[in-house]
């Protein structure tokens, strides 16, 4: 039960039958007035025919009468505000309960028995991953971890772009544009190269090359063995290389079902759309008209008889529902695909889809102030970005005796956090200075805060001191200490809010604020040098902060080395 839930229960007891869903407590504007305040009693006074202060008094009485009332002080101020002071005993108990739950740290297991599919990363095969792919991978993986922590059964599905006209161009290019050596030692870089060369020739005026690419594609679609074997080879090589990247990033998928998997299922979906009168002919194509919803027209079969991205996603959703019966499917892609998702969600609903479909769109990432594009020639490969991250963090950790592994933990953590600390919906600019800063809102800052608390705890151990229970709070705690303690209790709520909003940034913000509060606590309050029982109580607070920081960073996919 959160503090807001408690105060709602008190409103309910004071004015039975009302709707108090909007009632909440907020942190006090000034610690002089307590820890929290609630300004909602005024709103209900009139309805109850009471003066505002009388209404507030009723809530206060109800609160004081509650068996596990968290507040030791409830005061009425001004026109009917409630000033609330958290009781030491209650706080000590709550902190104790969190510390006694080291795996979940109070995170409610609200997802038990529920399944969701998360579709993320999903790069196109035969192309190297570049820095444009990092957002879907990192944001998607954090959402994946956050939902798992809430007890959901998550299926992480990498929806590879592994089907389409590009494969005709690739097969032709593979046969004609590569050297024997390149064919023998096929890499994604070689595939990319042969695609570029072949696509350029497909533009030739005679149209011969283009026609041959088309023929190869048709052969592939009709199941020609040789072409199918080549296609399989391209996909395997691509997945192999993507997996190398995922290993470095600590990202794991449960399944790699690309667009090709849904290929055979597309005609049936279109037939149903036609039978239901949803798809109609327009200039030789089949389309679903969504103008009434402001979503234009979605093509589901092109005039040449081919299917497209929309058809593929429609077939995919039906298949996922049939196989997994998820309560929700979450798609993480850049925001240029918003119309696509709105269209196909709307069509899926018309087809009776029972899963909730959610698109999490993210803004584009620029690099050091410049848009990332092939034309700009700054299409940085993900590989190179990660390499650079490790190299740069090596410069930071080497003087402290850190090794390659530590440099990787910090460098990769920095790249991830630079992304996750921003609301996914916003466009972001990546700069090395911000990402690797040791001060301010950065990955290394948080990792460093964690390492410091580990070192404090091991120093305590050497001195024969150990974290105890939280007794000091029962007998009055310093302001910074109490502020930190209250913030630590908010951890499960921060995880829940991050999931509800599909924004790992909510959790990142929480962790950053918590680390700042920890720092001001640590600067203002003696820990090792304090007397018992304050010492073991404060050590327990430090240990809980460390556990929460570790768990929280873990949910963002960021490692927490104990020494930096
Ligand atoms: N392959 C697509 C791209 O690179 C992303 C696929 C997202 N998932 C989906 N089911 N449409 O943009």
Ligand 1, from 124, 136, 159: best to mutate by most atoms within 8 Å of Cβ? 159
**How many Å lie between the centroid of ligand 1 and the Cα of residue 334?**
9
pLDDT at 375: 61
pLDDT at 319: 97
**How many Å lie between the centroid of ligand 1 and the Cα of residue 121?**
8
**How many Å lie between the centroid of ligand 1 and the Cα of residue 304?**
23
Give the position, in ligand 1's atom list, of the atom nearest the Cα of 119: 8
Q: Is 101 left (phi over 0), alpha (psi -120 to 50) or beta?
A: beta
Q: Are 125 and 234 in contact (CB under 8 A)?
A: yes
Q: Are 338 and 361 in contact (CB under 8 A)?
A: yes
**How many whole angstroms separate alpha carbon 359 and alpha carbon 339?**
10
Nearest CA to ligand 1 atom 6: 122
Helix H or strand E segment including 6: helix 3-14
Tokens read off for 433: 């200075």
313 lines ligand 1 (CB under 6 A): yes
Tokens read off for 492: 């499960």
**How many whole angstroms separate alpha carbon 490 and alpha carbon 348?**
38
pLDDT in tens, the chain (564 residues): 788 889 999 999 999 888 999 999 998 988 888 999 999 998 888 888 899 999 999 999 999 999 889 999 999 999 999 999 999 999 999 999 999 999 999 999 999 999 999 999 999 999 999 887 899 999 999 999 999 999 999 999 999 999 999 999 999 999 999 999 999 999 999 999 999 999 999 999 999 999 999 999 999 999 999 999 999 999 999 999 999 999 999 999 999 999 999 999 999 999 999 999 999 999 999 999 999 999 999 999 999 999 999 999 999 999 999 999 999 999 999 999 999 999 999 999 999 999 999 999 999 988 888 887 666 566 788 999 999 999 999 999 999 899 999 999 999 999 999 999 999 999 999 999 999 998 899 999 999 999 999 999 999 999 999 999 998 887 777 888 999 999 999 999 999 999 999 999 999 999 999 999 999 999 999 999 999 889 999 999 999 999 999 999 999 999 999 998
4 lines ligand 1 (CB under 6 A): no
**How many Å lie between the centroid of ligand 1 and the Cα of residue 262?**
13
Nearest CA to ligand 1 atom 7: 122
Nearest CA to ligand 1 atom 8: 159
Q: At what angle do helices 225-249 and 166-176 cross, to 10 degrees?
A: 100
Q: At what angle do helices 504-524 and 404-420 cross, to 10 degrees?
A: 120
119 lines ligand 1 (CB under 6 A): yes
Torsion sign over Cα 138, 440, 409, 550: negative
161 lines ligand 1 (CB under 6 A): yes
Q: Are 13 and 60 in contact (CB under 8 A)?
A: no
**How many Å lie between the centroid of ligand 1 and the Cα of residue 503?**
19
Please report, for residues 70, 89, 96, 99, 481, the alpha-carbon distance to residue 478 in angstroms, rounded to integers and kept in the order given. 18, 15, 18, 20, 5
Determine if the peptide bond prior to 121 is cis (ω within 30°).
Answer: no
List the 153-157 sheet strands across, edge first: 153-157, 115-119, 328-334, 356-362
Nearest CA to ligand 1 atom 4: 123
Ligand 1, from 139, 161, 339: best to mutate by most atoms within 8 Å of Cβ? 161
**How many Å lie between the centroid of ligand 1 and the Cα of residue 122?**
5
**How many Å lie between the centroid of ligand 1 and the Cα of residue 427?**
19
Tokens read off for 20: 């108090």
pLDDT at 254: 98
Ligand 1, from 118, 155, 333: best to mutate by most atoms within 8 Å of Cβ? 333
Point out which residues pair with 441 in neighbouring strands. none
**How many whole angstroms separate alpha carbon 170 and alpha carbon 187?**
13
Give the position, in ligand 1's atom list, of the atom nearest the Cα of 259: 10
**How many Å lie between the centroid of ligand 1 and the Cα of residue 123?**
7
Give the position, in ligand 1's atom list, of the atom nearest the Cα of 337: 12
159 lines ligand 1 (CB under 6 A): yes
Torsion sign over Cα 548, 551, 553, 559: positive
**How many Å lie between the centroid of ligand 1 and the Cα of residue 210?**
26
Domains identified in the chain and CATH numbers? 3-86 (3.30.1360.70), 115-157+252-366 (3.40.50.620), 166-249 (no CATH)
**How many Å lie between the centroid of ligand 1 and the Cα of residue 139?**
14
**How many Å lie between the centroid of ligand 1 and the Cα of residue 548?**
34
Nearest CA to ligand 1 atom 5: 122
Tokens read off for 326: 């998820």
Phi–psi pair at 90, nearest 5 degrees: -60, -45
**How many Å lie between the centroid of ligand 1 and the Cα of residue 258?**
9
DSSP letter for each residue of 222-291: TT-HHHHHHHHHHHHHHHHHHHHHHHHHT---SB---GGGGGGGHHHHHHHHHHTT-EEEETTEEEEE-G
The closest of 460, 441, 421 to 556, measured between CA atoms, is 421
535 lines ligand 1 (CB under 6 A): no
**How many Å lie between the centroid of ligand 1 and the Cα of residue 159?**
6
122 lines ligand 1 (CB under 6 A): yes
331 lines ligand 1 (CB under 6 A): yes
**How many Å lie between the centroid of ligand 1 and the Cα of residue 397?**
37
Q: Are 157 and 118 in contact (CB under 8 A)?
A: yes
**How many Å lie between the centroid of ligand 1 and the Cα of residue 337?**
9
CA geometry: angle 192, 193, 196, nearest 5 deg: 90
Give the position, in ligand 1's atom list, of the atom nearest the Cα of 159: 8
**How many Å lie between the centroid of ligand 1 and the Cα of residue 333?**
7
157 lines ligand 1 (CB under 6 A): no
259 lines ligand 1 (CB under 6 A): no
């Amino acid at each position: 039960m959160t503090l807001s839930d408690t105060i709602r229960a008190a409103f309910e007891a004071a004015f039975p039958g009302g709707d108090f869903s909007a009632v909440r407590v907020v942190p006090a504007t000034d610690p002089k007035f307590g820890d929290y305040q609630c300004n909602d009693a005024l709103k209900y006074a009139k309805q109850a025919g009471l003066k505002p202060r009388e209404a507030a008094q009723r809530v206060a009485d109800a609160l004081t009468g509650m068996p596990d009332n968290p507040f030791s002080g409830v005061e009425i101020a001004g026109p009917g505000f409630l000033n609330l002071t958290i009781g030491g005993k209650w706080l000590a108990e709550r902190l104790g309960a969190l510390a006694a739950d080291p795996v979940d740290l109070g995170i409610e297991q609200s997802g038990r028995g529920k399944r969701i599919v998360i579709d993320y990363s999903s790069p196109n095969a035969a192309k190297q991953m570049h820095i444009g792919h990092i957002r879907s991978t990192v944001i998607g993986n954090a959402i994946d971890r956050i939902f798992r922590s809430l007890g959901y059964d998550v299926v992480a599905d990498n929806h590879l772009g592994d089907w389409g006209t590009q494969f005709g161009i690739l097969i032709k290019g593979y046969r004609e544009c590569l050297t024997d050596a390149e064919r023998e030692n096929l890499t994604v870089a070689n595939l990319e190269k042969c695609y570029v060369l072949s696509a350029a020739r497909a533009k030739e005026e005679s149209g011969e090359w283009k026609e041959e690419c088309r023929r190869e594609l048709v052969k592939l679609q009709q199941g020609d063995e040789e072409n199918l074997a080549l296609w399989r080879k391209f996909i395997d090589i691509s997945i192999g290389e993507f997996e190398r990247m995922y290993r470095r990033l600590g990202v794991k998928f449960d399944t790699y079902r690309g667009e090709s998997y849904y290929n055979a299922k597309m005609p049936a979906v279109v037939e149903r759309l036609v039978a239901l009168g949803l798809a109609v002919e327009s200039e030789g194509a089949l389309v679903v008209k969504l103008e009434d919803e402001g979503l234009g027209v979605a093509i589901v079969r092109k005039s040449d008889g081919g299917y497209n991205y929309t058809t593929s996603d429609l077939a995919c959703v039906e298949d996922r529902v049939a196989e997994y019966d998820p309560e929700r499917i979450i798609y993480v892609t850049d925001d240029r695909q918003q119309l696509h998702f709105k269209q196909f969600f709307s069509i899926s609903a018309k087809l009776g889809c029972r899963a909730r479909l959610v698109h999490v769109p993210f803004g584009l990432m620029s690099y050091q102030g410049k848009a990332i594009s092939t034309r700009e020639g700054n299409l940085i490969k993900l590989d190179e970005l990660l390499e650079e991250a490790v190299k740069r963090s090596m410069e930071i950790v080497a003087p402290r005796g850190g090794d390659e592994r530590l440099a990787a933990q910090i460098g990769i953590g920095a790249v991830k956090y630079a992304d996750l600390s921003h609301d996914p919906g916003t466009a972001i600019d990546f700069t090395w200075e911000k990402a690797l800063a040791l001060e301010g809102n950065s990955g290394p800052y948080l990792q460093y805060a964690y390492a410091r608390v580990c070192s404090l705890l091991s120093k305590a151990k050497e001195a024969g001191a150990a974290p105890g229970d939280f007794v000091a709070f029962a007998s009055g705690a310093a302001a910074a200490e109490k502020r930190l303690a209250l913030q630590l209790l908010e951890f499960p709520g921060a995880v829940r809010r991050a999931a509800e909003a599909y924004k790992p940034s909510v959790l990142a913000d929480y962790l950053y604020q918590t680390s700042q509060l920890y720092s001001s606590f640590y600067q203002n309050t003696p820990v090792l040098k304090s007397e018992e029982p304050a010492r073991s109580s404060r050590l327990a607070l430090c240990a809980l902060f460390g556990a929460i920081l570790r768990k929280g960073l873990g949910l963002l996919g960021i490692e927490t080395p104990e020494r930096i």
